[in-house]
Structure 1
Amino acid sequence: MAFNYTLPLRVAQGLFAILILGLMAYVVSDWDGYYAGSPAEANFVLFCSVWTVLALAYLTIAPVRFETAAHKFGILAAEALTMIFWFAGFIALAVLLTDVRCRRWGPCRAAKAAVVFAAFEWLLFAATTIMASLHVWRTRRDHSSKHDPTMEVHPSA
């Protein structure tokens, strides 16, 4: 019996998303109080973490409970869009942090930590996007809309 890598990847994606959500909420909140407003880059990474929580809900629940909603292209689109969001988010925040002088150490360090975790989140979503892409590629000729059963998070019997 082959080991299903999807459940550990989904758990790691969820943990990183919640961790980044907390870090970026602190950064955006404190940055907003110190400057005229929080930068768009920080707000976007905060959005990415909220988007990821919603996307993970779809990616874990739809294949198990709502099979008609778990179309293979829908899953691929959710994976790829989330991966692109994380890539754009961590790059934009990293560039912002190189341009801005951090006068307060707490929010600056939290933003730097969020950049590192966001890069790992991007790698995790790159892995699951590759897995979804391979499934779409393998099933391109059978005209089936079914999702990949190995991408389900429950253990198979």
Structure 2
Amino acid sequence: MAFIEALILPLRVIQAVFAIIVLGVLAYAANDWAYYWSPSQVNFLIFTSVWTLLAVAYLVIAPMHFKTAAHKFGILAAETITMLFWFAGFIALAVLLTDIDCTAHTGKYWGPCRASIAGDVFAAFEWLLFTATTIMAALYCWRTRNERSGKHDPAVEVHHV
């Protein structure tokens, strides 16, 4: 458990940093995509980035300061919903980028296209990070399934030094 305790804060920091990167890159792509519209896939990943920043704030602050708000199933729900948002978002954007043939050899390798590719790559890594933390939360819920306590796993709590 000590390994997980040491791992959770860097994972949360990376999750927040990747969300900010995706937010910035895809905000540029949405702004510069076309004159009057931006693809809904890009817009959804922008929403997911903002959602993630709020979710990471909850996942870090609630176990430290608001113990009653850090129920083990609440944490599992926040992790799972965020993981599913990232999965749906990066797959949908990848399909869009394939459909519009966003590749170097077609000459369509313009700014919003390149930014969308970069945002999609970071979104895929974000999905992997949330998959890992969701598995940790699910394993804790499984291990404590017979306990009546809704207490969160102290091993995945962010400890301040």
What TM-score do the two structures reach when normalised by structure 1? Answer: 0.93
Q: Which segment drifts farther, 19-28 or 104-113? A: 104-113
Quote the residue 1:152 is aligned against: 157
2:30 equivalent in structure 1: 28
Match of 1:67 in 2: 67
> Structure 1, unaligned stretches of length 5 or more?
none
Give the distance between the partners of 2:35 and 2:80, measured in 1 at CA. 34
Q: Report the equivalent of 1:143.
A: 148
Q: Matches of 2:109 and 2:31 in 1, distance apart?
A: 13
SS at match of 2:48: helix
**Deviations along 1:106-143, whole A, 9 cap, x unmatched?**
11111001111000000000000000000100110011
Match of 1:114 in 2: 119
The aligned residue for residue 2 of structure 1 is 2
Please give the alpha-carbon distance, in whole angstroms, between the structure 2 residues aligned to 1:87 and 1:142. Answer: 31
Match of residue 80 from structure 1: 80
- How many residue pairs get matched? 154
- Match of residue 42 from structure 1: 42
Query: Which TM-score applies when normalising by structure 2?
Result: 0.91
Give distance in 2, aligned partners of 1:101 and 1:35: 19
Distance 1:81 1:52 in 2: 10
CA distance in 1, matches of 2:159, 2:112: 38
Superposed displacement of residue 151, structure 1: 1.2
What is the rounded CA distance, in whole Å, between the counterparts of 1:113 and 1:95 in structure 2? 14
Cα deviation for residue 155 of structure 1 reads: 4.8
**What is residue 131 of structure 1 aligned with on the other side?**
136
How far does the alpha carbon of each residue in 1:76-130 deviate from its partner, in whole angstroms, 9 at most, with x for none?
Answer: 0000000000000000000000111454611111100111100000000000000
**Hey, what's the Cα distance between the residues in 1 that align with 2:101 and 2:124?**
22
For residues 68 and 54 of structure 1, what CA distance do their matches in structure 2 show? Answer: 18
Query: Displacement of 1:27 after TM fit?
Result: 0.6
Q: Is the 8 A contact 2:30 2:43 kept in 1?
A: yes
Q: Any idea what SS the aligned residue of 1:146 has? A: coil
- Please name the residue that 2:14 is paired with: 12
Backbone CA RMSD of aligned residues: 1.5
Q: Contact between 2:2 and 2:155, CA under 8 Å: does it hold in 1?
A: no
Runs (5+) with no aligned partner, structure 2? 103-107
1:23-74 Cα deviation digits (max 9, x unpaired): 011011111xx24311111100111100000000100000000000000000
Kindly report which structure 2 residues correspond to 1:93-108, keeping only aligned pairs within 5 A, or say none. Answer: 93-102=93-102, 103=108, 105-108=110-113
